[in-house]
Structure formats: structure tokens, C-alpha cells
Amino acid sequence: MNSKLLLSSAIALSLAFGAVAVDASAAVKKAPVAKVSAAQSVKFQALSKEWLDQSMRLSPVGASAQGDHRFDAELDDASAAGIAAGLKFNKSMLTRLNAINIKSLSREDQIDALILKNELQSSIFQTEKLQSWKWDPQSYSGLAGSAIYTLMSRDYAPIGQRMKSAISRIEKIPTIFAAARANLDPKRVPLTHAQTVARQNQGIFDLIENYIKPNMDSLNAADQARMNAAIDKLKVAVDQHQTWLDKTLVPNAKGDFRLGAKMYDEKLKYSLNSELSRQEIDKRAEAEMTRVRKVMYGIAQNVLKDRKNLHLGAKPSADQEQKAIEAALEVAYAEKPSRENLVEFARETLKESTDFVRDHNIVTLPSAPVEIIIMPKFQQGFSVAYADSPGPLDKGQKTFYAVSPIPEEWTDAQVDSYLREYNTRQIHLLGIHEGTPGHYLEGAFSAKNPSILRGVLRSGLFAEGWAVYTEDMMRKAGYMNNDPLFHLVQLKFYLRTISNSLLDQGIHVHNWTREQAMDLMTRRAFQQEREAAGKWVRAQLSSTQLATYFVGVQEQLDMRREVEKAWGKNFTLKKYHDKVLSYGAPAPRYVKQMILNQPIH
């Protein structure tokens, strides 16, 4: 996944492969040639610029992540008053945007206006209706960690300058903890959220040890003294907050992590900005689950053709299909990296996927740098890996492909379960998804788009859909020499995408139990126990984000089918991929509308 999605929950409190075919032969409605209103364009450009400026002022930590470093010494106001100010601003912006005739703008500006409208509506919903600032402690812990990380992780300015900004922020971080204690209502906080943040709380000192202390000599004596005093003050604040987490929040956390159908549907609408409803998503996901398992059984028949103890007939029972696929996957699981070599192996696979893209002329490769890192502790516990692209205003900075280390306290059995899931072929797929040609490459293209607004509001649906799309696309292009076990593992990884969507709805709408969730993941999607257990926790901690993978790839696949038909003999992978990525990662629906000259809506 892309870590900007993780960071968004922290900054929001101050702003509050497809078998289901689309009928591409149907007549495509072309966009009429419309006259662009210069007056309306001027109004929108002014509004867009004002929103960008003021939203950065309201969220300095988010601004740093986006590459706007005017407010690096400041922190978001996480208090109730600060949240109210963000809400007032968003409502004012939405009223003014609604007064603009969007259809009279250029097609590019129409996209930006609709993206901005969705963002404003989403922020208002998050603050007024969802009210996560009253029940989700992750917002505050994420903000505190990101306050340091966004300053120190990239070399956008001299280290001494960044360290001076860090002094100011570290001095102010205790106000975030104070705001959390004032705003959170323990009775509304889900227990899993409380326990997760209680475990993460001390992780902020990993940032101090890894980013701040090694750079103390960049400060003069007076600033070093001020930094040491700020760190001492932070230690007191973190310990005080830990006591509150352990003795007040966790024991009294009685909230329900499930959103319920009404709240989920509204959040899903804003999170996806898709034309697919929850019911349509569920129908597609179930159909894909059935189709993909049949393809996996066909591969298992080939891999296990010499096995006499398995029924491998053309019409297996559900139990026979299950056993055959599991047996074939066992062959893939036998090849796994060592616990100590996991990160180094990830580096090797990223190089292999990059070389393959270059050698097969699949898409233009960016020159922006990418680096594999150990995931910072304050972000561990949510996902196994992520890509952290630089903000659209941070030109020339690295993308980080972060890999979570295996917890030291895990038993040998737990480690084996984890590495069976993250076997050698699976690590290859992670390199494709998070690196090249997935998130890293897509993020680098996104940063080139001239619309800063579009870069700041980069679509998670586009980003995750593109990353999943590239997994199957690379396999079809011959990655790993058409290895059938790679195909099998790729399909299993795609089953995870499908099950993510079903799991998200199952938990938040249909009140699934842990047993139902684990059955979906471990039996129907063949996930290992450690992976499934972690996803059960993640699905409680978040909502709607897990749907972005499946819905995003469905829209990417729908778009490719339509464009491939429209272009005919002129279609090539490189031409198509470069075109799709040239629009700067808005929701996929807008990209398709631009390429096929359809009305923007």
C-alpha cells in the first residue's frame, strides 16, 4: 500500500484481474466541445490556490509530507478548537466551489474541481458525522510520529535547518497527547484501537534515536541544549500519556469498531470516488473469488500431475479443489527467504522487476530514486510493506519502499508461518506492487503532473488499483520466465485483494466474527495464520481503505479493455501505460474519461 494513506488519518483531524466484463462494444458517449468560461476558470484557480495554501497552514505536518516546508516548525492544532477551525474552513470552501459552474471549466480543471469537491465533502463528513477525532487514538499517535518523520526522512534541506524545525515540533508534541486525552471519549474508543496505540506510544523514541540523536552535531551548543530539553520534556509527556493509555483508555475502551451499513456506505463513497456501489463491489468480488480459484486449480493440476494421492480430475468437489490448491502452494512455500535476509532479498527482487520493465519496454522508467528501508516502529502493526512517495512539492526526493521487520518476540512457528506467506515469489510480487512498476513508478509519474492540487489529493483508488494491475500485467509479460508457481502465488496475492474487499464489508456492515474473517482469509484465500491474524486487526483499525485494492484494479482493468478496443492496432503496453499515468493519479474514472474523450463526471 501507499503510506500517504496511512498519514492521511493523522492529518485529517485538523482538516478533518477481472472476469466481470464490461460491454465495451456499447456506444461511447463523446464529450461535446464546450466553451470554456475564462471568468469561471479564474475563480476556480483562485479557489484552488487558496485551498492549497490554507489547508497547509491548518495541517503543517501534512504540508511537510507534501513538500511544502513553510510550516516545518509548526504542528497541527489537534484541539477541539483546531478541529472546529478546519471544519469551518472546509464548509466555506465547499460553498464557494458549489457557486462555480464546473462544466464551464477546461476538462483538466473539471477533474480538479470534482476531486476538490469530494475531498471537502469527505472532510466535513469525517469531522461532523464519523467523528473519528473523538474515538480513534491512531489519529493522534500518527500525527505525533509523522511530525518528526516528515522532517527527517528526506534531505530536502540542510540537516541543521531540519533539526531546528524538529526542536520546535518536539517541544510542541506534548500538546497532541493532551488533545488526545481531552478529545477522546473512552466509551467510544474500540479496544483494538486503544491497545494498538498503547503498544505504539513509545515508538516515537525510535525516531529520536534513529533520526535526531545521530544529527545533534549539526546544531550549535545552544540549540543542542534546547533539543535535549525538548527530548526530556517529551519523555515526561510520553510516560504520562502511556499511563493514561494503560490505566484509563484501555480498561475503559468500550467502543464498537464496526461502522454499520449507513456510515460505511457514506465513507465508502468519498474514499473511493467510484461509480460502483457496495452491492456491486460485493457481487464482483464473489464472482472473482470463484473464477480465480478455478484457475488456481488448473495450475495445481499441472504442478501436481505426478502426485497419486490427490484427486486432480476436471470436476473436483470443493474439498478436492481446496486440497489440490493447498498442496501446490506448499511447493511454492518451500522456497522462502531467511528471517535475517528478508530486507536484502526485497532489494534484489526490486532490481529484477525494474530490469524486466526496462528490457521489455513496458512503461517509461522514472529517474527519481527509490530506497528500501526498515519500516519505522511508529508505523508498524498496520501493514507488512508500503511505498512512501515524496510529496508533489518535494522534487527529486526518494521514494521509500518500507518493509516491516519480523517481531523479535515471535516464536519459530510464527516466523515460519509469516515466511511461508512471504515466500520468495511473494517478495517478488511485493517488489512489483510497492516498487516497479507499482507504487514507486506511479508516484513518480504523479509528481510530474502540473496540477499541484491533483498531486496533493492523489487517489488511493488509482494508486492501489494500478499497483494490483501491474502484478498480473507483469506475469502475462513473462516475468520469472512464465513460472507456473509464480502465477499461482500471484493469483493467491490477487485473492488477498478480493478478500480484502469482502472482509471490509463483512466486518463493518455484516458483523462478521473473527472466525468468519479467518475462514475467508485462511481457507478461501489460502493466507497463512500470521498474515490473516494481522489483517483481522487491520480491518478493525481501518475501514473502506481495504476496498481500494479490488475496486481500483477492477476500474483499471475495465479502462484497459475499453481503451484497447478503441485504439485497436495502435495499442501498445508502453503507449497505454504512459498515457494512463500522465494524468497524475486522479480517480480512474476521470482517466478513462480523458483518454476516451467522454464527459467528465
Angle made by CA atoms 32, 37, 40, in degrees to the nearest 5: 125
Report the C-alpha gap between 135 and 175 in whole angstroms. Answer: 18
For the chain, helix, strand, coil in percent to 5 are 70, 5, 30
Mean pLDDT, residues 15-29: 40
Give per-residue pLDDT as tens, 407-465. 888 888 888 888 888 899 999 999 999 999 999 999 999 988 999 999 999 999 999 99
H/E segment holding residue 388: strand 385-388
Report the C-alpha gap between 499 and 510 in whole angstroms. Answer: 14
Q: Which residues contact 469 (CB under 8 A, 6 or more apart)?
A: 17, 552, 553, 556, 557, 560
Give per-residue pLDDT as tens, 522-555. 999 999 888 899 899 999 999 999 999 999 999 9
Report the C-alpha gap between 383 and 332 in whole angstroms. Answer: 23
* Whole-number pLDDT of residue 339: 83
Tell me the sheet residues that pair with 386.
402
Q: How many CB atoms lie within 10 A of CB 305?
A: 9
Give per-residue pLDDT as tens, 65-86. 999 999 999 999 999 999 999 9
Cell readout for 68 is 511544502
Residue 91 has pLDDT above 90, yes or no: yes
H/E segment holding residue 372: strand 370-374
Report the C-alpha gap between 194 and 200 in whole angstroms. Answer: 10
Give per-residue pLDDT as tens, 338-354. 888 888 888 899 999 99
* Whole-number pLDDT of residue 30: 64
* Whole-number pLDDT of residue 83: 97
Give per-residue pLDDT as tens, 361-392. 999 998 888 888 777 766 665 457 788 888 88
2 three-class SS: strand
Residue 168 has pLDDT above 60, yes or no: yes
Residue 18 has pLDDT above 50, yes or no: no
Report the C-alpha gap between 185 and 118 in whole angstroms. Answer: 28
For residues 87, 89, 94 and 95, what is the CA-based torsion angle, rounded to 10 degrees?
110
Cβ–Cβ under 8 Å, residues 2 and 443: yes
**CA-wise closest residue to 43 among 89, 118, 112, 90:** 112
Residue 25 has pLDDT above 70, yes or no: no
287 three-class SS: helix
Residue 114 has pLDDT above 80, yes or no: yes
76 three-class SS: coil
